[in-house]
Amino acid sequence: MIALADCNNFYASCERVFKPKLNGKPIIVLSNNDGCVIARSNEAKSLGIKMGEAAFKIKDILKNHNIHVFSTNFPLYGDLSNRVMSILSYNVPSIEIYSIDEAFMEFNGIYQKEDFAIKLRKKILKWTGIPISIGIAPTKTLSKVANSIAKKECSNGVFLLEDPIRIITYLKSLAISDLWGIGRNFSIMLQNYNIKNAYELTQKSDAWIKKNLSITGLKMVKELRGEVCFNITTKWSPKKSIITSRTFGYEIDNFKKLAHAISTYANMCATKLRKEGSCAKNIHIMIFTNPFKSHQNTNYTGQMVVKLDTPTNDGLEIVSKAIQALKSIYRPNCLYKRAGVMVSNIVPESQVQLNLFNQSHNITKRQNLMSAIDQLNEKHGRMKVRFAINGPDKKKYIRQEKLSPCYTTQISDLLKIK
């Protein structure tokens, strides 16, 4: 049996941990630069606020219903996520962390699974303040279904979906658009074939499913039928690409400020590569104007891919190549609203093949330098030590008017009890 633990309205729940007076009140969390809604409490959902909705479009709703608004606080969310995952890991045989707020757990060998899950849920709520829902079923895909039921229908936050008759009943009530792995395009296509719920999809032949939904879709459907196709994955695998991209709090109108942003994002990508023990061969630079203001200046998207001779995670080299590319695609007559850097063609650091012109002693010096920078930033805070071209603190370019304190990661933000 496999269980899926999912933190309820995670970002909103994190904000409530240190402000219990917000329990039962509507909360939304906004994206970078306070642009769009990326998280909602149940109370905010009931008011009709949609995911991805622009904050400026719902100003009247926020004011009229006294909705509490927060800017994203990723250090806080990440730390509370780590605490939840640590508790789960300690209490179950194996765990696969699926996202910041979800984890699949191996429940084989656990007796009285439902009672165990209820106790585990209570422990996490007591130790972290984060409410979670747990769905238990024979497969990963069915555990997703069970988790959805646990959230909506179970007061104890736990649901065991094991009986074949009950599985069929719930699959018949599950809209095809709500099925894990079925995106908007697939959903429209399946509805055109008069497939409206998950059960109807399970009745199609394997050949038809493979043809229309690919081999991954076929595995998902087999899991709905009770056949295990996706096992718990505990082995770490390196990312295929890493991207750092931001929308600016205001439009940038000169090269120097844009270079600050691009170099910062390139440096962050390099840091992530080193943390994973990986190197990248391709660097992709992207700059964008504001598409909603096409009547002002030029509506422009600039992109360029730099292919390195040797894969690297050297921050100095990646930043240098990114700035060279920026010079090639920059247009002085534009106002830039967003930029990003992506590194791809990633390989393990141990498998990097040097060429004839690499000098090993220089590589060793750079590696030592990067290691020293990483250690200092790990101790004193991200980007405390940075390159001169990174410019001032990147927070200067980010609008976070509703940012809550970093209660668990900054000494200066610790709660003060009077």
pLDDT, position 285: 94
Tokens 């609203």, residue located = 337
Structure tokens at 104: 């699949």
pLDDT, position 415: 81
pLDDT, position 399: 67
What's the pTM? 0.76
Pairing of strands 37-40, 2-7: unpaired
Residue 331 Cα distances to 154, 245, 262, 337, angstroms: 56, 19, 15, 13
Cβ neighbours of residue 316 under 8 Å, at least 6 residues apart? 366, 369, 387
pLDDT, position 297: 56
pLDDT, position 233: 81
How far apart CA 340 and CA 266 sit, in angstroms, is 8
**Widest CA span in the chain:** 68
pLDDT, position 393: 61
CB atoms within 10 A of CB 254: 11
Which has the closest alpha carbon to 323: 369, 389, 270?
389
pLDDT in tens, the chain (418 residues): 999 999 999 999 999 999 989 999 999 998 877 778 989 999 999 998 988 888 888 888 888 999 999 998 888 999 999 999 999 999 998 999 999 999 999 998 888 999 999 999 999 999 999 999 999 999 999 999 999 999 998 999 999 999 999 999 999 999 998 888 888 888 888 888 898 999 999 999 999 999 988 898 999 999 999 999 988 887 666 778 899 888 887 788 889 989 999 999 999 999 999 988 899 999 999 999 887 775 555 688 899 999 998 899 998 999 999 999 999 999 988 888 889 999 998 988 887 777 666 655 577 888 888 888 888 888 777 777 778 887 776 555 566 778 888 888 777 788 887 7
What are residue 392's phi and psi, to 5 degrees? -70, 175
pLDDT, position 416: 80
pLDDT, position 236: 65
